[in-house]
């Protein structure tokens, strides 16, 4: 990856479509609900991109991307996308892609062994957690064996925070419980794993100030700005982007729900200082990922 040639690094993209095998019953209805929430016609029409198509899209735009699946099969019943498959395709597109993985912390020590193997044999650089989809509190000690592997390897733990489009508008929210994604629960993780690099994903509505508090207090915590159009960022988030947290804010789109084209166009219109924009778009991610 020639980072100098890139215009940005997107730290939050999803691998949604497997390259082999059909999806489970109900998956397309779930994606259609997500598409309505994000006003994303591709999801509504069942036309979500493969990992290879994602790589081509980002290469054309000279944007590097971190890509991952989400292991939520225990709570959703949908079989997870293979971590190995995502890592293999990312390796074939290493000029533009950086592989993360996802493991449900409820898998305990088996999950920890998988994480170590993915890091050592597949070059995985971090792990995505979605407390609401996975149905767990980030500070539940059942997750400690998995965090220990991540911390020891110098990898990154990326946590969904705040409200989610998953299950939005569906009966009972598809069983998703928003409470698990309060970023304050991740403060305990940052205390017990002070050297593990942590990303709080998304503007954390309705807990934005909690997220800013955790990131301000704990130097091993970053915030990615994915999942929302920047035109909806609350003023306090923009204020912290421009000042005390300007070196720990990261560009993320939430592809394919939100495209980088849409995100970047809206980001250009909000009140971010000129000297801060390159930090958020690329330089902070370059430093965090050690590129």
Task: Give this prediction's pTM.
Answer: 0.91
pLDDT above 90: residue 277: yes
Residue pLDDT, tens place only, 138-176:
999 999 999 999 999 999 999 999 998 776 777 887 788
Residue pLDDT, tens place only, 98-131:
999 999 999 999 999 999 999 999 999 999 999 9
The pLDDT of residue 16 is 72
pLDDT above 60: residue 80: yes
Separation between Cα atoms, residue 136 and residue 10, nearest integer Å: 26
Task: Give me the residue spans of the domains in the chain.
Answer: 3-289
* CATH architecture of the domain formed by 3-289: Alpha-Beta Barrel (3.20)
Query: Once rounded to an integer, what is the mean pLDDT over residues 67-85?
Result: 89
User: Under a CB-based contact definition with an 8 Å cutoff, are residues 80 and 73 in contact?
Assistant: yes
Query: Tokens representing 246?
Result: 């300007």
CB crowding 268-286: b at 16 or more within 10 Å, else e: eeeebeeebbebbbbebbe
The pLDDT of residue 45 is 46
pLDDT above 80: residue 27: no
pLDDT above 60: residue 95: yes
Of 46 and 91, which is predicted with more confidence? 91
Question: How does the average pLDDT of the chain come out, rounded?
Answer: 91
Query: Once rounded to an integer, what is the mean pLDDT over residues 10-24?
Result: 71
Query: Once rounded to an integer, what is the mean pLDDT over residues 13-42?
Result: 62
The pLDDT of residue 122 is 98
Separation between Cα atoms, residue 66 and residue 224, nearest integer Å: 12
Query: Once rounded to an integer, what is the mean pLDDT over residues 197-220?
Result: 98
């Amino acid at each position: 990856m020639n980072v100098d040639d890139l215009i940005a690094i997107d730290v939050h993209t999803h691998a949604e479509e497997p390259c082999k095998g059909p999806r489970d019953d109900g998956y397309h209805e779930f994606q259609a609900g997500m598409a309505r929430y994000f006003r994303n016609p591709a999801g509504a029409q069942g036309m979500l991109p493969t990992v290879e198509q994602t790589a081509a899209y980002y290469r054309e735009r000279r944007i590097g991307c971190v890509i991952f699946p989400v292991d939520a099969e225990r709570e959703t019943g949908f079989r997870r996308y293979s971590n190995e498959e995502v890592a293999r395709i990312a390796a074939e597109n290493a000029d533009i892609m950086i592989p993360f993985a996802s493991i449900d912390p409820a898998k305990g020590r088996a999950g920890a062994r998988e994480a170590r193997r993915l890091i050592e044999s597949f070059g995985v650089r971090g792990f995505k957690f979605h407390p609401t989809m996975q149905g767990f509190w980030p500070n539940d000690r059942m997750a400690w064996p998995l965090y220990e592997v991540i911390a020891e390897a110098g990898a990154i733990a990326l946590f969904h925070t705040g409200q989610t489009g998953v299950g939005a508008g569906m009966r009972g929210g598809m069983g998703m419980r928003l409470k698990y994604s309060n970023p304050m629960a991740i403060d305990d993780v940052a205390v017990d794993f002070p050297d593990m690099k942590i990303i709080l994903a998304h503007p954390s509505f309705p807990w934005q100030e909690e997220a800013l508090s955790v990131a301000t207090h704990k130097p091993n915590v970053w915030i990615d700005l994915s999942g929302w159009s920047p035109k909806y960022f609350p003023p306090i988030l923009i204020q912290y982007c421009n000042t005390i947290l300007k070196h720990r804010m990261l560009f993320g789109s939430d592809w394919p729900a939100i495209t980088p084209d849409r995100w970047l166009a809206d980001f250009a219109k909000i009140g971010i200082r000129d000297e801060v924009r390159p930090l958020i778009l690329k330089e902070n991610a370059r430093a965090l990922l050690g590129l």
